[in-house]
Amino acid sequence: MLYHSILRPILFRLPPEAAHEMALHFCEAGLRPRVLRSMMARRYASEPFKDLRRFGLSFNSPVGLAAGFDKNGVAVEGLSALGFGFIEVGTVTNLPQPGNPRPRLFRLPADKALINRMGFNNDGARRVAERLSINRPACVLGVNIGKSRAVAVEDATADYLASFESVYEVADYVAVNVSSPNTPGLRGLQNADALQALLQALQARNRELATRRATNPLPLLVKIAPDLDEHALEAIADVALGAGIEGIIATNTTTNRAGLKTSASIVEACGEGGLSGAPLRSRSTEVIASLYRRLRGRIPIIGVGGIFSADDAWEKICAGASLIQIYTGFIYEGAGLVRDINKGLQERLTQGGFRNLDEAVGSSVKAPVAA
């Protein structure tokens, strides 16, 4: 209510990136005092989900904050007071970089969408890891890693390995981003051979580091684009299983601009970038269902793309997502969305007679698999 009637109108008067910086600053500095964080945590609290274990980690809620909101891990403590079960920081790259020139973030309110070509602006993996070693969220912490722009695609593996080593100590899981449309050549790493080489190298380093520190290897996930055909999705699922990847995040933003309500001239004026929000919802759900059919529950899928309500989150879960993430919905609906989704999912579980979330995962695609 407060968000829709007061905060959003103020934030939406500002240029999108300035509004984002302000919101992030509020979560960082405004929620630094422990007493304020506890107040927010009480306001946004919901019943913890039962038996919610994914890739060896326990989650209080299946609702996560998607990568790109807190790229530098500056506000994880405050953000975790808003009811998220997990927060994915990043994308971080091995080399600090400024990203693309501004303006690089655009709102399409008629479509409840955003277009961005941020270009992995971040402080660099080492600096972000230092920060995260001090600031810990009260929930699961993922770190998303990508390729530094100055590094050629052919040399991407060494660059990803360096970032992986930097964040190894502070991350509960690491997401390998090969799907941003804003780093030239990056999406080519989704090609089966390239992806296999990259993921195998990361897993080898993961095992080495774990042996050296006498710990378990970190759960390694891969984040993919929605702009892939069925054949490519199957190949990625097979590569992920073969490389011992612990989960797939589906999906990143799309380069497709079909079916938007916003006038073509406005969309064109935004220029290149990834489209997120409501127009991405059904495509991302299709990708989740395709992956689920191929993976048959062997590894979890994190569903992300166009979630604005508990119904949208439930649809993703029934299509095969074991966890979900939000970004654009959080911008349009505010923090109340996290609580609404948590509450709405609990209600749907009770109404449907499900004992826990796992029983609902993939329930709308199970029949075709068995047939």
Ligand X SMILES: Cc1cc2nc3c(=O)[nH]c(=O)nc-3n(C[C@H](O)[C@H](O)[C@H](O)COP(=O)(O)O)c2cc1C
Binding interface with ligand X (CB under 6 A): 66-68, 71, 90-91, 105, 114, 116, 118, 120, 144, 177, 180, 223, 252-253, 276-277, 280, 304-307, 326-329
Rounded CA separation 181/274 (Å): 6
Residue number with CB closer to ligand X (67 or 198): 67
CB of 165 to ligand X, least distance (A): 19
Strand, helix or coil for residue 249: strand
3-state SS assignment for residue 285:
helix
Question: DSSP string spanning 291-312?
Answer: HHHHHTTSS-EEEESS--SHHH
Query: Nearer Cβ to ligand X, position 17 or 358?
Result: 17
Structure tokens at 282: 């059904």
Q: How far is the CB of 246 from ligand X (least distance, A)?
A: 17
User: CA 332, CA 329: separation in Å to the nearest integer?
Assistant: 5
Minimum gap (Å) between residue 18 Cβ and ligand X: 13
**Beta pairing class for 53-54 and 86-92:** unpaired
Helices and strands counted in the chain (H then E): 16, 13
Given the residues 46, 163, 166, 180, the one annotated as active site? 180
Question: Is 80 an active-site residue?
Answer: no
What's the token pair of residue 182?
Answer: 């804003």
CB of 22 to ligand X, least distance (A): 14
Strand, helix or coil at 129?
helix
CB 113 within 8 A of CB 260: yes
Q: How far is the CB of 242 from ligand X (least distance, A)?
A: 23
Nearest CB to ligand X, comparing residues 74 and 114: 114
Nearest to 108 by CA among 225, 309, 256, 264: 264
Identity of the residue, 71 or 187, whose beta carbon is nearer to ligand X in the bound complex = 71
Q: Are 41 and 371 in contact (CB under 8 A)?
A: no
Between residues 219 and 329, which has the closer beta carbon with respect to ligand X?
329
Which residues are known to be catalytic? 180
